[in-house]
Amino acid sequence: MAIEAVLFDFSGTLFRLEADESWYADLTRPDGQAFDVDEKAEIMRRMTAPVHHVIEFDDETQYAWDHRDLDPALHRKVMMKVLRTSGVPTDEDAERLYARLLDPLEWTPYPDSEAVLDLLAAQGVPVAVVSNIPFDIRPSFAARGWDRLVGAFTLSYEVGVMKPDPEIFRSALGELGVAAEAALMIGDSAEADGGAEALGSRFALVEALPTTERPDALLAALRRHGLVE
């Protein structure tokens, strides 16, 4: 069956959260030493881990982790725990970093994100963004004029279900009016985004590399499925 719609993940697929030095300008370890490059990268990785948690949790915090993308309050609770356990020295520092994560304008698009959205729109192929996330990402697209290229934003905290549950993909496809068998899901998590396969959709995996290291993975995914020559 020909592909009639494409579903995209957000974090690590169309956009990536990437810090600059201003994020860590006032951040030091308890001994007064600045965080090194590897420590900064690890904090960022922990802030955006798509599926598996990176520290040990008690039962209450584990529940918050498991449901974090359904409830903004739970997300804040568990991410503050992750940041403090990862070495962020004060609650104020953790709050400052967390606020950056929640700001949709802090997220950096991959180099080919605009191209794939434009190409699909030119072909009349509808697009949905399907994301496990606790905040509204529409401003990331609107700020660049890309919101007109997205037919549906299916966000876990709004629809009450998270990937890989088939219901979140079914919700997106229902908004687009496309059968699951005629859809392609593109994402960076085989576990979460690959859940679309349970409905009969096709799935393409991309790596959540830094944006400068992944210039055309989205275009390549479309090419493999016959949507780009």
pLDDT on residue 152 = 98
pLDDT on residue 18 = 87
pLDDT on residue 52 = 54
Residue located via tokens 């509808």: 126
Residue 6 in contact with residue 227, Cβ under 8 Å? yes
Q: Which of 177, 178, 172 is nearest to 187 (CA)?
A: 172
pLDDT on residue 91 = 87
Q: What is the mean pLDDT of each run of 10 residues along the chain (229 residues)?
A: 95 90 64 64 65 68 89 91 81 86 93 98 98 96 98 98 97 98 97 97 96 98 94
Determine whether 122 is exposed, middle or buried from the number of CB atoms within 10 Å of its CB (0-12, 13-18, 19+).
Answer: exposed
pLDDT on residue 93 = 83
Phi, psi of 78 (to 5 degrees): -75, -35
CA distance 91 to 97: 10
pTM of the model: 0.88
pLDDT on residue 154 = 98
Given CA atoms 38, 40, 41, 46 in this order, what sign does their dihedral have? positive
Phi, psi of 56 (to 5 degrees): -85, 135
Q: Which of 207, 75, 49, 213 is nearest to 135 (CA)?
A: 75
Residue 100 in contact with residue 19, Cβ under 8 Å? yes
DSSP secondary structure letter of residue 155: E
CA 154 to chain centre: 12
pLDDT on residue 79 = 86
Q: Give the number of residues written for the chain.
A: 229
* 204's tokens: 């393409």
Look at residue 205 and give its three-state secondary structure. Answer: strand
